[in-house]
Structure formats: structure tokens, C-alpha cells
Structure 1
Amino acid sequence: MATFFRSFLQSYRNIFWLLGGILAGTVAGLILGPRVAVLKPVGDIFINLLFMAVIPLVFFATTAAVANVQGTSQLLRLCRITLLVFTGTALVAAAYTLLGVYAFPLHTTLSRHESLPALPPMSDLGTQLTRLFTVDDFYKLLSRECMLPLIVFSLLVGFASLQAGEKGAAFRHFLLSGNEVMKHLLGYIMKVAPLGLGAYFAYQVGILGPQLFGTYARALGLYYGLCLVYYLVFYSGYVYFAGGRAALRRYWKYNLVPSLTAVATCSSVAAIPVNLEAGEKMGIPPSVRNLVLPLGATLHKEGSAISSMIKIAVVFALFHRPLSGVDTVAIALGMSVLVNMVEGGIPNGGYVGELLVMSVYGFPQEALAPLIIIGTLVDPMATLLNVSGETANAMLVARFMGHSLLEERQDDKA
């Protein structure tokens, strides 16, 4: 018994420290309220360290994964399956939310007289698509706001390395070496995670916490309830299908750190480093996790798909319009999936979703404020689903690619 207890503490020691920091931050946020802002710089330092590491980490991980894939056809198949899995799970999330809205309809008294937030001017469609996939200068790839162009560049470099054959062997070795170095750097950064995430989480609770009990409580209650079920049940189902009990046990054992990082930071990009580390411990093959997880931070957003459907339900209730009819429902599902896929790669992408809802359904400008407010308040849970879903989706991709996740790893017994 003593041996088992020591082994248990050894396996979960870092998680206990992280939970302790988060718990302390929660208590501080509840007690101090807005005064907890004094702790925000501590959290910002930790988050900035993650952001500093994420660009080289994504580049090396993605490029190395592509450069070491066995054959071009295998790479194309991996990309095709990844996009199909992302789209399929987003559609499931949106349909599930629609059923939840029908089961628990939103009878709301939201005011039409909210002040309208100022929005940045929108570019034309061609400019938005250009910015979605490319940048006009190399140095802009080094910004976390250009994650999708960085991934596109990394894919192209990896493919060129693959096609270079023997002449590119040294470069491929450099990519693998760089990937290992960045993983060790992440390990150093995560040593201060309990302090950094605790401080950041305290700020989130102290500043945003009271808003959750205001005018939008009913819609937020439905949203958070649906998301919690999706988080626990649907992801467990995806993972069990992908790899059985061993994969399910591994998933929940190593998903806690990415989950807490997601809730504290509200950033899928900030969670990329810890998600890559968790994906390795979960047993996801390198060729899959190093491509699917960085790509998922931009293109996979099941939490955003669920929040888009809730936003649609809120404005329909606000203006006393029925959310029914084949065309209305089909458009709602289509918009939820579309926003899920593109908003992460477009500057101010969240606003694109709100404006899309208004324009497609013909709502007046008074609908914009509730949409933006709901979008702000659902962000922590949406990010949690986005981040946790990336590893679950990566396991599905591995299963469809023919990789086995069934092998019992030694650390599964801890």
C-alpha cells in the first residue's frame, strides 16, 4: 500500500501542485474581487512565456511531422482525415446544442438598449481570405495572431524537406532536434505553472465572475450545462471509440493540465505547448499529434460551434422569433460549423460570427450587443472544449489512419 501511495503521488504530483495553485487563485478572486488585478502581472508573465515558446514549438513540431511522414499520399490522407474529423465533430456539437435549446427554451427579457461596442472596420472577403492563409512579410509569421499562415508555411517547409530526399536529411534531423529542444523548454516554463495559472485564474474569477450571475444567467447556465456534458460524455465517447479503455484512462489522466490552462487563459494558442506534451503522454503518434494539434488550435473549435448556436438562440428569443423550419435550422448548423472552422484564423474572428448571424437572419443592430456579451462570457468554457477536443480529435484521426492506441503503456498502471 505504501509503495502504491508513493507511486500515485509521484505520478500526480505536478497535477496536485497545479490544482493547488488554481484553487488558491479561485479563493483569492472570490475574496478580493476587482482588487485581485494586482496579481495579473504574475499571470501575464507566465502566459507571455507560453506565447514566446508557441511559435518555434509549432514550427518545429508541424514541420518535423510532415517531413518524416512516409510518402506524399500518406500526408494527403492525414490532412483529409483531419479536416473530416474536425468538420464532423463540429457538426455533432452544433446539432447537440440545437437539441438542448429545444429541450430548454430560452425565455429571456434581454434589454434592447445595451450600449453597442465599437467594432473594427471589416475588410472585403478577398482580403479576409488572403489574411487567413498568408502574410505579406516573413517576420509576421512570428506573431501568434498569424497562427494559420505559420502552419501553412510549416506544412510547405515540411513537404519541401520530404521531397528533398537524401539532400534534405540534415535539415530533417535539425527539425527533429529543434522539436526536442522546444519540448524541454516547455518543461522549464511549466515548472512555474501553479503560480502563473493561479494568478491568472484569480484575475478571471475576480473580474468576470460577478457578470455570470447577471442578465444573461439563463443562457449562460444552459451553455455551461451543455458544455459540461459534452466535455465529460462526448469526449469520453470519442476517445473510447479511438482506443478503448486504455486510451480513455490515459486521456483523462493527462488532459487536466491543458484543461486548466484553457480555462485560465481563454486561449487555444496558449494551450498548444501543454497540449502537445499531453498528446505525447496520451500515446498519440508523433506524425499525428504534431500536425493535428497545432492545426486544431486554429481550425478545431467545438466550443465555438456550441456558443454560436447559443448566440443564435439568444437573439431569436430576444426578438421573439421561432428557431424552427428546415431552412432556419440548416443555416444555423451551417453557420456554427463555418464559424468554428474560420474564426481562429481571422483577425477579430469572433465578431465575424456575430455579424454573420445578424446579416443572414436580418436582425437589426440592437442584436449585436447581446451577441458580443454572450461571446465574451462563454469564452472560458468554449476554450476548454476547443483545447480538450483537439487531443480527442487527434485520437480519432490516429484511429482512422490505422494507428493503434490500444497498447498498455507502463504509466497507465500508476
Structure 2
Amino acid sequence: MSEQNSVWKSYRFPIILIIAIAIGCVLGSVMGKDALVLKPLGDIFVNAMFMVVVPLVFTTICSAVASMSSMERLGKVMKYLVLVFAVTGAIAAVLMLIAVTVFPPASGATIQLQLPEEIKAFSTADQVVKAFTTDDFVGLLSRRAMLPLILFTIFFGFCLQSLGERGRALGRGIAVAADAMLQMVRYLMYYAPIGLAAYFAALVGDYGPQLLGAYFRSMVVYHVVTFAYFIIAFTIYSWWGTDGRGVRTFWGRIIPPAIMALGSGSSTATLPLNLEAANGMGIPRDISEIVLPIGATAHMEGSCLSGILKISFLFGIFGLPFSGFGTMATAVAVAVLSGVVLSGIPGGGLVGEMLIVSLYGFPPEAFPIIATIGFLVDPAATMVNATGDTCSALMISRLVEGKDWFAKAIAEKSEEAA
């Protein structure tokens, strides 16, 4: 009985969330479009999570940077962050590339469109500028400016540390504010079962009928590859990141954030739970509080997977050959690029979809075609995106702290518990 109580205590929250999502799916299937009446209940929960995101990102990153033992350590963390994010994104893109080559997602599609004679080039220069900067400080106070906020916060934290003791004093105050924001999130999570049930009911009721024909084939290909990647790749990554000792710990902690990401469709909204899970895994806070907020915006393995799917789908319906080293190498590069510019919010994939259409010179009619795919794959993609952030933090911890870091972290937690 005690063992059963222990299992229930450990997995009570994810079990409740799974039951709530299942109820939402059933309601959506039965009610159809009428299930949209429940959407406000889901929106309340997601909006509440968004409400705390900006102050949470600022306080966690700022306190982490300000409390770094040295700028050398910060530089080391950022160096490995870029490396891990790029490599894992490329691996995900290549795996999907293999899948769509064997199982073309647009095979048998009846959509007939013609490429126009003159294609107006879509300039991404302004998009890049807007992705990394804002023209006013007020613009930083929006979840739509996550990258500018992150860059500002890192710079601000660096400036605090450069002030010495005066800066560290303010940094300690900001750390308290970060803890307060995390506590607010814990209270908001009491509403999660109701919010996620309503959100899934509306999602299934609205988009369920669109899973037909070529779209259905695309969904099968995507979800098989994505869930296989979710289980296999993250098991391998967590094994390597913890020197083979933390796979069980990783999966024991990551389920609640993964379900939250699946239900909300937002890496950003999942960030609070990811931070809590990372702490439970023993990941150093100065690493998790930098890697996870940045990863919520700039590390999208699930979006790299969907990027290849969308490119292959467009090539198929336009009757263009999706073959050759140059074509495939470009597709991987574009998928990784689109995964980086995506914002961690529901529907944020529209930016990446616009990038895909413009870089390949497809006509405007191509945009809603892949946007539909984007909406349908968003939950699973976000689940991989958010989980990949925490898994990357494990690997970065090994690169920064050494391969024995996990054993030391577990030993420290055992001493604290004793």
C-alpha cells in the first residue's frame, strides 16, 4: 500500500492532467464546433500563464547571470548552449528528412497550384531586426518580444555583476522576486485540469475534421517520428548528460511539463514547470535559469521536425522533386533557422511558415496550406520543444560541470534531505 501511495504521490499531477485532457478530447469529438464555447475556460488558464512569463523570464535570467561566480562561467554556458541547441535541432531535422523521403507526406495529394511567373521576394532583414530588438523599452514588456527581453536581461545581469557587491545586493532581491513568481505559478496550476480540458475540447472540436487525405498522411508521419524522437532521443540525451545515471530521474520529473506543453501549445507557458523539473533533477540553477528561458524561444526541436514536413509537403503539392543533396541540405538549414526564429507561443509557428514560403519563393497561396499543418502539429511539436530544453540543460551541465556532475548533485540533495 505504501508503494502505491508513493506512486500516486509522484504521478498524481500528471495523471490528473492526462484524465482532464482525455475528457476534453471526448467532449471535442462529441460536440464538434460547439466545443468552441469552452475555449474561454482554456484561454483563461493559458493567458494566466502568459501573464507571469515576462516578469518570470526577467527575474530568473537576471538573478542567474548576476549570481554567476564569474563571467568566464557565463561564457562557457552560452558557448555550449549554442552548440547543443544547433546540434539537437539539426539531428531532429535530419531524422524527419529521412522519414519524409521514405514516406512522402503529400503523396496522392490532389491540390493543384501553379507557381507564378514573377515571385516577389520576401525580405527577412526587418524580421531579423524585430526578432532581436525593440524600438522602445516598453516593447520589452510583452511576451511577443521574448528574444529582445532575454538579450536585455542578460546584459542587465552582466552589468549588475560588474558593479560588485552593490550589484549582487540587487541581484539577491531579484532572486526573491523570481521565487515569488514561481510560487504564483504553483497556485495557478490548481486551475490547470479545468483549463487544459477546455483547451483540448476546443482544439479537437475545431481542427479534428481537417485530418483528411494528404493532411492525415502528414499527421501520421509527423506524430510517429515525433513521439519516437521524444522517447528515444531524449533517453539517449539524458543518459549522456548524466553519465548514464539520471535517465529514470529525467523521465520521473519531465512528464508534468511535457503534458503542460502538449496541452497549452506553448513552450513559454511551460517554462515555470520546466524550471521546477530542472531543479528536481539537480541541474545547477545558474544553468537552468539561463538555458530554459532562452530555449523556450530559441530551441525548437519539434519545430525543426515540422519544418522539414512542411517543406516536403509544399514540394509535393507543387510537383517539385524533393531530392538531391543541395535541396535536402537547404531544407535542414531552413528548418533549423525557422525553429530558431519561432516564438514560444501558440501559433508562433506562423513566423517560421512565412520564412519557409518566402525563402523557397512559393506563392502566397502556399502559406495557408502549411499553416494548417502548423496548427495540427503544434501540440506535439511544443511537447518536444519544451522537453528538449530541459534535456539540453542536462547535457550543458555535463559540458560545464564535468561528467560526474549528476552524481555530485544527487549526493548533495541526499545530504540536504538527511
Task: Give the TM-score normalised by structure 1.
Answer: 0.91
Larger CA deviation: 185-194 vs 3-12: 3-12
SS in 2 for 1:271: helix
Give distance in 2, aligned partners of 1:4 and 1:360.
56
Q: How many residue pairs are counted as aligned between the two chains? A: 405
Give distance in 2, aligned partners of 1:5 and 1:329.
50
SS in 2 for 1:111: coil
Instruction: Confirm or deny that 1:108 pairs with 2:84.
Output: no
Q: Tell me the amino acid that sits aligned with residue 304 of structure 1.
A: S
Following superposition, the deviation at residue 176 of structure 1 comes to 1.4
**Where does residue 180 of structure 2 map in the other structure?**
181
Following superposition, the deviation at residue 349 of structure 1 comes to 6.2
**Where does residue 117 of structure 1 map in the other structure?**
none
Consecutive unaligned residues of structure 2, counting only runs of 5 or more, are 115-119
SS in 1 for 2:401: coil
Query: Is this contact kept in 2: 1:299–1:340, CA < 8 A?
Result: yes
SS in 2 for 1:58: helix
1:80-125 CA distances to partner (integer Å, 9 max, x unpaired)?
11011100000101111111122223423141269xxxxxx99854
- The 3 A distance-change label for structure 1 pair 294 and 12 is same
**Where does residue 252 of structure 1 map in the other structure?**
251
Alignment of 1:379-398 (within 5 A): 379-398=378-397
**Where does residue 151 of structure 1 map in the other structure?**
150
Following superposition, the deviation at residue 61 of structure 1 comes to 0.6
Give distance in 1, aligned partners of 2:13 and 2:263.
17
Query: Is this contact kept in 2: 1:204–1:264, CA < 8 A?
Result: no
**Where does residue 405 of structure 1 map in the other structure?**
406
- The 3 A distance-change label for structure 1 pair 364 and 194 is closer
Q: Tell me the amino acid that sits aligned with residue 290 of structure 1.
A: E
Query: Is this contact kept in 2: 1:132–1:345, CA < 8 A?
Result: no
1:339-378 CA distances to partner (integer Å, 9 max, x unpaired)?
1112328998644533443444444444333222222222
Give distance in 2, aligned partners of 1:387 and 1:128.
24
SS in 2 for 1:192: helix
**Where does residue 42 of structure 1 map in the other structure?**
41
SS in 1 for 2:282: coil
Query: Is this contact kept in 2: 1:67–1:162, CA < 8 A?
Result: yes
Give distance in 2, aligned partners of 1:209 and 1:346.
21
Following superposition, the deviation at residue 295 of structure 1 comes to 0.2
1:192-216 CA distances to partner (integer Å, 9 max, x unpaired)?
1111112112211221222223541
**Where does residue 117 of structure 2 map in the other structure?**
none
Query: Is this contact kept in 1: 2:267–2:344, CA < 8 A?
Result: no
Give distance in 2, aligned partners of 1:326 and 1:347.
33
Following superposition, the deviation at residue 17 of structure 1 comes to 2.2
Give distance in 2, aligned partners of 1:39 and 1:210.
18
Query: Is this contact kept in 2: 1:146–1:345, CA < 8 A?
Result: no
**Where does residue 266 of structure 2 map in the other structure?**
267
**Where does residue 241 of structure 2 map in the other structure?**
242
SS in 2 for 1:216: helix
Alignment of 1:120-139 (within 5 A): 124-139=123-138
- The 3 A distance-change label for structure 1 pair 203 and 245 is farther
Alignment of 1:195-344 (within 5 A): 195-344=194-343
Consecutive unaligned residues of structure 1, counting only runs of 5 or more, are 115-120
Larger CA deviation: 328-337 vs 81-90: 328-337
Query: Is this contact kept in 1: 2:199–2:263, CA < 8 A?
Result: yes
Query: Is this contact kept in 1: 2:29–2:205, CA < 8 A?
Result: yes
Q: Tell me the amino acid that sits aligned with residue 82 of structure 2.
A: L
Q: Tell me the amino acid that sits aligned with residue 266 of structure 1.
A: G
Q: Tell me the amino acid that sits aligned with residue 229 of structure 2.
A: Y
Alignment of 1:52-63 (within 5 A): 52-63=51-62
SS in 1 for 2:242: helix
SS in 2 for 1:378: helix
1:117-136 CA distances to partner (integer Å, 9 max, x unpaired)?
xxxx9985443232112212
Larger CA deviation: 221-230 vs 371-380: 371-380
Query: Is this contact kept in 2: 1:132–1:346, CA < 8 A?
Result: no
Query: Is this contact kept in 2: 1:57–1:183, CA < 8 A?
Result: yes
Query: Is this contact kept in 1: 2:301–2:388, CA < 8 A?
Result: yes
Q: Tell me the amino acid that sits aligned with residue 30 of structure 2.
A: I
Query: Is this contact kept in 2: 1:59–1:151, CA < 8 A?
Result: yes
- The 3 A distance-change label for structure 1 pair 123 and 55 is farther
SS in 1 for 2:9: helix
- The 3 A distance-change label for structure 1 pair 364 and 180 is closer
Give distance in 2, aligned partners of 1:180 and 1:220.
40
Larger CA deviation: 349-358 vs 284-293: 349-358
Larger CA deviation: 201-210 vs 283-292: 201-210
Following superposition, the deviation at residue 69 of structure 1 comes to 1.0
Larger CA deviation: 3-12 vs 263-272: 3-12
**Where does residue 93 of structure 2 map in the other structure?**
94
